[in-house]
């Protein structure tokens, strides 16, 4: 299903990540998935949280710019081949994956957050293959 | 050695009467041939007859970059275009370059002045000189080239950009002299050292200019290369390298007063002050035909010493520069104004993001880092988009200022935004003597 991701631009300097997480903690926001992509100068801290808009507002109030973007979250059962199955479908449709990372799901299964070049098409594709809950 | 003893060693009285006579002629020429100057003089209620000698210099209007901009490209030319044989240019504050045009005689005088400078540095017809300034619109390459050729030295027109080739040829061709920026010479010296070639060179002398440098840098390069290093000053608007150079006594740069009339003004009030006091150097060209300039404000801060020099020359000496009265930076010999960077950033997305230029000198090479705040409109959740933004900024700046800058994207509000005029430059280099 489509979900909102919170992306934060952070300079590569000590303690910046902690400042971000501290603001989220103080605002009672739960982080259920996160990844960092970085270059030598800066990084992008991407998060799935329980209350995305509230997270953005809180970060803004704390002087940190963030942005909401759509991603697709897909549940992948704890068994061999379940992640491969999802990616294969997307790959065979010729859709590029921009990035992906793990996140927790509502139940005991795992989940992944995927950003592709065409989210709508990806979502439709996954529905067709009954890969969404 | 002195190239033109008759001129370089004239008595002060002779210098001043020659200057007066030439100033009167120059004022007449611009008044009658350059509408822009005629209007400027008329606005001050001046006629050519009001200028009877150098004592009347202070009455004349100034020429500034704004005047060059307003008359761009040929509005200050005092001869028909058919008489012009050369155009040179350097960067201006707002994108329009500063242009200077020359007649054949202007080029000859430029060569003569550069030849005097070369000779003052001890360069003769027996020398092999590498010119390591850029050849092109920048006056450095061609100016040094013409001067060296005029004295009959063997000129190796290296231009810039290939240190390895320069170093190899310096060794192979037994090069004895070099003309380049001081920071580049230090870079060359280190390259020679790293390749174990320091005792393979025949270099004796370096003529360095196009950017300010300190006595500390001089002793560094003299020691490392076992040479004598001299300072040469020039600016595109006047003629390029060859306006002034220091002699072996290093007590200021002898300025060729028979062609360039120097004065010192208070940069704030514009009042002429005693030239032995520090202020802004203002130059009036006395013999220029193509684009004569009245009281051109160089923005360089210095003072003038008119006492005789131990070398025998009587031409006044401008002292080490103490800085500039505007915000121009000289990075790797290239003139850069923060306003150019600002204008270039504006083209990225229609509004200027907050930015900071950080200039430093590492391993004797100037570095420029431009920090740009990633505002919401630039922001993406994808690294490749941000890298594309960074590359676009880099390419735009390269076109605008002619330099490769390192682009650093920083967090919004990551730069200090002060009230009113935001500081856009941090220069960590030590360029001027205290
Ligand atoms: Zn001298």
Reported as a single tens digit per residue, the pLDDT across B7-40 is 999 999 999 999 999 999 999 999 999 999 999 9
Domain positions in chain A are: 2-70, 76-128
Tell me if ipTM is over 0.85: yes
Average pLDDT (A93-105) is 92
Average pLDDT taken over every residue of chain A: 91
SS3 of residue A36 by DSSP: strand
- Structural domains for chain B: 1-326 (3.40.50.12780), 331-427 (3.30.300.30)
Which regions of chain B are under pLDDT 50?
419-420
pLDDT of amino acid B89: 92
Ligand 1 centroid to Cα of residue B246, in Å, is 7
pLDDT of amino acid B350: 64
CB-based contact (8 Å) between A60 and chain B? no
CB-based contact (8 Å) between B382 and chain A? yes
SS3 of residue B159 by DSSP: coil
Look up residue A59 and give its two tokens.
């970060």
Q: B28: distance to nearest CA of chain A, Å?
A: 59
Beta carbons within 10 angstroms of residue A34's beta carbon = 19
Task: Characterize B32-67 residue by residue with b for buried, 16 or more Cβ atoms within 10 angstroms of its Cβ, and e for exposed.
Answer: ebbeebbebbeeeebebeebeebeebeebbbbebeb
Widest Cα–Cα separation across chain A:
45
Ligand 1 centroid to Cα of residue B254, in Å, is 7
Q: B381: distance to nearest CA of chain A, Å?
A: 6
CB-based contact (8 Å) between B410 and chain A? yes
Residue B379 to residue A64, Cβ atoms within 8 A = no
pLDDT of amino acid B135: 94
Choose among A11, A41, A65: nearest Cβ to B379. A65
Q: Which residues of A touch B380 (CB under 8 A)?
A: 67
Ligand 1 centroid to Cα of residue B227, in Å, is 18
Residue B413 to residue A9, Cβ atoms within 8 A = no
pLDDT of amino acid B295: 98
The CATH architecture annotation of domain A2-70 reads 2-Layer Sandwich (3.30)
pLDDT of amino acid B253: 97
pLDDT of amino acid B377: 80
Residue B374 to residue A65, Cβ atoms within 8 A = yes
Kindly report the CATH number that applies to the domain delimited by A76-128.
3.30.70.260
A76-128 matches A2-70 in CATH topology: no
The Cα A116–Cα A89 span in angstroms is 13
């Amino acid at each position: 299903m489509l979900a909102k991701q919170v992306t934060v631009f952070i300079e590569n300097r000590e303690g910046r990540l902690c400042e971000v997480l501290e603001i989220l903690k103080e605002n009672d926001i739960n982080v259920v998935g996160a990844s960092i992509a970085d270059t030598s100068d800066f990084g992008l801290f991407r998060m799935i949280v329980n209350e995305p808009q509230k997270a953005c507002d809180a970060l803004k109030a704390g002087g940190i710019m963030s942005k909401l973007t759509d991603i697709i979250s897909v549940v992948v059962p704890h068994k061999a081949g379940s992640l491969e199955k999802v990616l294969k479908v997307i790959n065979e449709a010729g859709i590029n994956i921009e990035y992906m990372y793990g996140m927790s799901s509502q139940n005991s299964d795992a989940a992944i957050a995927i950003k592709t070049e065409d989210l709508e098409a990806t979502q439709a594709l996954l529905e067709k293959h009954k890969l969404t809950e | 050695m002195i190239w033109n003893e008759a001129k370089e060693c004239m008595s002060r009285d002779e210098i001043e009467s020659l200057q007066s006579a030439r100033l009167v002629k120059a004022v007449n020429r611009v008044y009658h041939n350059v509408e822009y100057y005629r209007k400027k003089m008329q606005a001050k209620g001046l006629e050519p007859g009001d200028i009877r000698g150098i004592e009347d210099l202070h009455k004349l209007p100034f020429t500034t970059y704004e005047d060059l901009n307003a008359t761009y490209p040929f509005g200050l030319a005092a001869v028909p275009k058919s008489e012009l044989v050369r155009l040179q240019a350097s960067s201006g504050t707002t994108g329009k370059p500063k242009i200077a045009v020359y007649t054949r005689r202007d080029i000859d005088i430029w060569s003569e002045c550069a030849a005097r400078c070369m000779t003052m540095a001890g360069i003769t017809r027996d020398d092999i000189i590498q010119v390591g300034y850029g050849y092109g619109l920048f006056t450095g390459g061609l100016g040094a080239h013409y001067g060296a050729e005029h004295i009959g030295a063997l000129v190796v027109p290296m231009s810039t950009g290939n240190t390895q080739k320069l170093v190899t040829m310096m060794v192979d061709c037994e090069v004895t002299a070099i003309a380049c920026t001081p920071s580049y010479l230090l870079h060359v010296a280190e390259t020679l050292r790293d390749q174990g070639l320091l005792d393979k060179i025949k270099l004796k002398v370096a003529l360095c200019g196009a950017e300010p440098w300190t006595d500390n840098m001089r002793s560094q390069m003299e020691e490392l290369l076992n040479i004598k290093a001299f300072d040469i000053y020039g600016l595109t608007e006047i003629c390029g390298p060859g306006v002034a150079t220091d002699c072996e006594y290093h007590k200021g740069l002898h300025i060729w007063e028979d062609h360039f009339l120097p004065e010192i003004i208070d940069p704030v009030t514009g009042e002429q002050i005693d030239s032995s006091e520090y202020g802004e150097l203002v130059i009036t060209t006395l013999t220029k035909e193509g684009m004569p300039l009245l009281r051109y404000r160089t923005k360089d801060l210095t003072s003038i010493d008119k006492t005789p020099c131990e070398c025998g020359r009587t031409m006044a000496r401008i002292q080490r520069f103490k800085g500039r009265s505007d915000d121009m930076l000289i990075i790797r010999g290239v003139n850069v104004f923060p306003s150019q960077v600002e204008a270039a950033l504006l083209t990225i997305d229609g509004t200027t993001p907050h930015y900071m230029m950080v200039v430093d000198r590492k391993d004797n090479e100037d570095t420029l880092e431009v920090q740009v705040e990633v505002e919401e409109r630039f922001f993406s959740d994808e690294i490749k988009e941000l890298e594309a933004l960074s590359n676009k900024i880099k390419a735009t700046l390269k076109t605008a200022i002619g330099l490769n800058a390192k682009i650093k994207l920083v967090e919004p509000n990551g730069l200090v935004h002060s009230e009113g005029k935001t500081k856009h430059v941090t220069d960590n280099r030590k360029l001027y003597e205290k």
